[in-house]
Structure 1
Amino acid sequence: MTASIKLSSAAGRWVLLATVLGSGMAMLDATVVNVALPKIGDEFGSSMAGLQWTVNAYALTLAGLILLGGALGDRYGRRRVFIIGVIWFALASALCGAAQDISMLIAARALQGVGGALLTPGSLAIIQASFEPQDRARAVGAWSGLGGVAGAIGPFLGGYLVEYAGWRWVFLLNVPLALLVIAVAARHVPETYDSQAHGKFDVLGAAMAALCLAGITYALTTAPERDTNRALVIGSALLGIAAGIAFVLIERRRSARDDGPSPMVPVEVFASKQFTAINAVTFVMYGGMSVVFFLLVLTLQVVSGFSPIAAGTALLPGTVLMLLFSARAGALAQRIGPRKPITLGLLLVALGMLLMTRIGADSSYVTVVLPAAIVFGIGLTLAVAPLTATVLATADERHAGVASGVNNAVARAAGLLAVAAIPPLAGLTGDAYSNPSTFQHGFRIALLTCVVLVVAAAALAVFTVRDDALATAPASAEPLCKVNCAVAGPPLEPGRVLSASGDTDSA
């Protein structure tokens, strides 16, 4: 069931407002929480592992449940699940703001991720199902552009709140924002469903995916810590690996059967070697980039003495470049093939990371940080849009929804695991964030590791991504979300969320 609203109408503007504000809450959390980490660590006396889990607890539940969240909206109503996600996110945010210790904050962040998994796919699905067909592309473009602006404003806002109001307001601000979203959505957003969504949900598959990520992440995070329980680390790693194997077996069995729950990830989507290759590139690329997003803001505050506002906005030039030029990068890839833009983009990302290794005590933003941020942003601009287009073009058209969702989840899982593993391996453990010289040394080692990862992703692109991957792509393979900040992962495509029955959205 779909609606038929004109974008130019008052009703259309209300729908756009609700979806932009709702998804904006989740987007802001991806950019502003890192700014608050030094203050959180100081107040709670947290170790580096605690700060890692403050980021990763949210990423864990979001990555594990985001595909299931889209299917729930298709079945039970996109507006209903979206509003439930907003309420859940707001309550979890209030718990974050009221946290009395790092353990309570980490648990509340995990709950936030559940809310994000419900509202994030729902915001785009609402747009696709609510607007008239001729207005959908423009509506998505408006959502994407406004969301990019929110991503650019986020670091300013987060830095200001941390500096002048306290880190708790980074989370508490979500509560009044959520109340506004709920009021607008309940009154102005029409309810829509996927009439073909009749199958059972792959709850077991989602649980195994989340357990796999949780077990491996815990092992990677705690293994380098002194006085850690080695038996618990080994048991956690084995549990994660076993859950991962179980996930694969469950998805294979459900893909081969017509009865029972539809698979969360149909294995036939990986029949395309190009789809598998581009997801491998995504995994390695976002693994390296996510560590930079995690550590750079910390380093600028701990090592260079930047204020929260200055540190939070350090990568703003890259965000602006993506807002302005990502659509042109996608068009370039359509003309010359995706391999060259992706490869060149990744090499520029690696060069930007190398330039970041110059950051030290009393580093100047203009002479040290800004050149690195610009090169890094140009690289992202060149790489992300062609990558997204290739994901959609190399999957079977009827699996476009799950292809987009899988690619987004792969990127988030890569970031989760890399943020868990690389900082401890670089010596950033215990109270390292309170020792500027120790943190600077570990930051440089971590960045060099990330450079190796991103260069490896570029090499994968050279040897596995074909230049003709977009030559015969169907019209539906062109990504509608052409503007994306690429902090957490490639954009989910609206109207292509896999329904519970395994069919693409009927909207």
Structure 2
Amino acid sequence: MTNKRWIGLIALLIAEAMNLLDATIVQVAAPVIHTDLGGRTADIQWFSAAYTLPFAALLITGGRLGDRFGRRRMFRVGVTVFVLTSAACALATAPAELIGFRAVQGAAAALVIPQTIGLIRSSFTGSALSKALGTIGPVMGLAGISGPLLGGFITEASSWRVVFLVNVPLGIGVLALSHLLPESASPQPPRIDILGTLLLTGGTALVVYPILQSRDWFLLAAGVVLLGLCLLRKDGRLIEVSLFAHRGFAPALVTSTLFFAVMSGLTLVVVLHQQLTLHHSVMRSSLALLPWSAATGIAALVAGQWLVTRLGSRLMYVGLGVQLVGLATAPYALLPALAVGGIGVGLFTTAFFTEALHRVGPHETGSAAGLLNAVQQFGGTLGVAVFGTIFLHHPATIDRAAWVAVAVVVVTVATAHLMRSPHSTRRGRATPEPVRTGR
């Protein structure tokens, strides 16, 4: 039985990696897809945003569906839809088709990812549970590093369509192993807040669409209003209001949004700069991201093992400072700047999630982690929209995007300071359960 649980864990880890791989692989291949399918230049951004937007908006609801109807059942449904839409993406003949299939694919991922922690907890206990949870970080780090390289290699050696077909055998393998996972659900099934989900999804879409497409700022304002209504409504409670009683939680959401907007937006800008401005091959473009990905993984490992227990929340400032150095250097020496910036990302994220969750009560941890994950994805979508638009209007260099990123990170320093509690720098604080990054 024990061996079966560990084999079942493999299915969960593959599903987690598929989500991250799908985002990074498509980002590298997006300019080639646009060349092949034609359409508007803004479609390049939509190939990524159409996936991350529903993923961000539906993550919390996806978790609640698993709690209510069974996590293994919802996991299987999500993986099945993910596989089918991956095949549909590979067969798309027009940009609108691909964007539509990507949106459904993102919704399917929002049903898959929230179930993994619950399924791991129901599969393992004691020290085995700690070991199982400890496998998530390395697997996601490896997926983050290999995603751009795999995307570049597949697109250059074969076709961008194969980028989506990779998910089909992986997903079938996950479904084949998923019977080894135990079924589990919440002993107190939560309500499914349909109105809250519609407000969150509609508000997120209305905030992103004007930036990518229409420049209709009335729509953006309407989106902000819908998001506010989702937050303020008391019935249904898609978002746990009690979380905001913790002084630093609201600033943590803003910090996460800003930080991951820069992280995702600049990744796209580097790819566009390499392929559209410098006319480099897809493979060479993907190699340009290797210093960023590798440095992030190494820095996160070092921070998690040694630095966060010594420096506490002060490590956030170290990470942001290092990232600022990398961003300010980017217009002059891109590859070294990406390596330096990646170090900053790894240092910051480890300290950030520790600080964001350490004051949250045990009964709020799942909701807090889900909300942080959702705003992280929303920030990534916003970054793709904002920084992609900046570059496409000034495609000769990445200077303008880099300096805008510097300004955003400076603001992030201020919001990170608002997160801190008076005793958040003490040493030896217990580190809470890790929050997975979807990208």
TM-score by length of 2: 0.93
Deviations along 1:40-97, one digit per CA (max 9) or x if unpaired, are 1111223231111111111110000001111111221111111111111111111111
- Per-residue CA deviations over 1:273-297 (Å, capped at 9, x if unaligned) read 1122222222221222221012111
Shift of 1:408: 1.4
Q: Which residue of 2 aligns with 1:156?
A: 149
2:308 is aligned to: 333
Task: Name the SS of the counterpart of 1:100 in structure 2.
Answer: coil
Aligned to 1:452: 407
How many residue pairs were aligned?
A: 438
- Residue 470 of structure 1: how far off its partner (Å): 6.0
Q: 1:398 aligns with which of 356, 360, 363?
A: 363
2:378 to 413, 429, 436: 413
Which has more helix, going by share of residues? 2
User: Offset of 1:179 from its aligned partner?
Assistant: 0.9
**Residue 467 of structure 1: how far off its partner (Å):** 6.0
Q: Does 1:177 align with 2:170?
A: yes
Q: Deviations over 1:450-471 (max 9, x none)?
A: 1110122123334552462264
1:312 to 280, 286, 289: 286
Equivalent residue number for residue 493 of structure 1: none
User: Which residue identity does 1:245 align to in structure 2?
Assistant: G
Does residue 195 of structure 1 match 2:187? Answer: yes
SS in 2 for 1:47: coil
Change (3 A) 1:280 1:241: closer
Partners of 1:171 and 1:179 lie apart in 2 by 14
1:245 aligns with 2:245: no
Q: Which position in structure 2 is the counterpart of 1:227?
A: none
Measured after TM superposition, the shift of residue 306 of structure 1 is 2.7
Contact 1:44–1:102 under 8 Å retained in 2: yes
> Are residues 1:382 and 2:320 paired?
no
The alignment status of 1:122 with 2:87, answered yes or no, reads no
CA distance in structure 1 between the aligned counterparts of 2:418 and 2:226, rounded to whole angstroms: 31
Q: Distance in 1 between matches of 2:365 and 2:151?
A: 35
Question: Relative to structure 1, is the Cα distance of residues 472 and 74 closer, same or farther in structure 2, using a 3 angstrom cutoff?
Answer: farther
Deviates more, 1:327-336 or 1:208-217: 327-336
In the TM superposition, 1:269-280 aligns within 5 A as 269-280=243-254
Aligned to 1:213: 204
Aligned-residue offset at 1:169:
0.9
Question: Which of 343, 349, 352 is residue 326 of structure 2 equivalent to?
Answer: 352
Q: Tell me the equivalent position of 1:461.
A: 416
CA distance in 1 between counterparts of 2:422 and 2:412 reads: 16
Query: Which of the numbers 271, 285, 302 marks the counterpart of 1:297?
Result: 271
Measure how far apart 1:427 and its partner are. 5.8
Tell me which structure has the larger Cα radius of gyration: 1
Give 1:127's aligned amino acid: I
Separation in structure 2 between the aligned mates of residue 398 and residue 487 of structure 1, nearest angstrom:
23
Alignment of 1:38-49 (within 5 A): 38-49=31-42
Alpha-carbon distance in structure 2 between the residues aligned to 1:221 and 1:480: 32
Counterpart residue number, 1:500: none
Cα distance in 2 for residues equivalent to 1:47 and 1:467: 50
Correspondence for 1:492: none
The answer on 1:19 being equivalent to 2:12 is yes
Displacement of 1:113 in angstroms is 0.5
Distance 1:457 1:242 in 2: 23
1:236 matched to 2:219? The reply is yes
Letter in 2 for 1:28: L
Instruction: Report the CA distance between 1:151 and its aligned residue.
Output: 2.5
Deviation by residue 1:218-250 (Cα, 9 ceiling, x = unmatched): 1121235xxxxxxxx355334423322321232
SS at match of 1:469: coil
- Give the TM-score, by structure 1 length: 0.81
Is the contact made by 2:377 and 2:438 (CA closer than 8 Å) also made in structure 1?
no
Q: Percent of pairs identical after alignment?
A: 30
Residue 440 of structure 1: which of 391, 396, 403 is its match?
Answer: 396
Q: 1:208 Cα shift?
A: 0.6
Q: Is the 8 A contact 2:300 2:350 kept in 1?
A: yes
Post-superposition shift, 1:189? 1.8
The equivalent of 1:494 in structure 2 is: none
Q: Does 1:222 align with 2:213?
A: yes
Please give the alpha-carbon distance, in whole angstroms, between the structure 1 residues aligned to 2:418 and 2:119.
39
**Residue 286 (structure 1) aligned with residue 260 (structure 2):** yes
**TM superposition shift of 1:326:** 1.9
Q: Amino acid of the residue matched to residue 206 of structure 1?
A: T
Cα RMSD over matched residues?
2.2
Q: 1:175 to 1:241 in 2, by over 3 A?
A: same
| SS of residue matched to 1:446 | helix
2:188 match: secondary structure:
coil
Which residue identity does 2:177 align to in structure 1?
V
Distance 2:142 2:262 in 1: 25
2:16–2:113 CA contact under 8 A, matched in 1: yes
Tell whether the 8 Å contact from 2:86 to 2:164 is kept in structure 1 after alignment: yes
* C-alpha distance in structure 1 between counterparts of 2:360 and 2:334, whole Å: 39
In 1: Cα distance, 2:320 partner to 2:297 partner:
18
Deviation at 1:159, TM superposition (A): 0.9
Question: Aligned equivalents of 1:341 and 1:105: distance in 2?
Answer: 41
**Distance in 2 separating the partners of 1:86 and 1:387:** 30
| 1:144 Cα offset (Å) | 2.5
Q: Deviations for 1:5-47, whole angstroms, at most 9, x for unmatched residues? A: 64xx2x1331121111111111101211111111111112232
| 1:85 corresponds to | 78
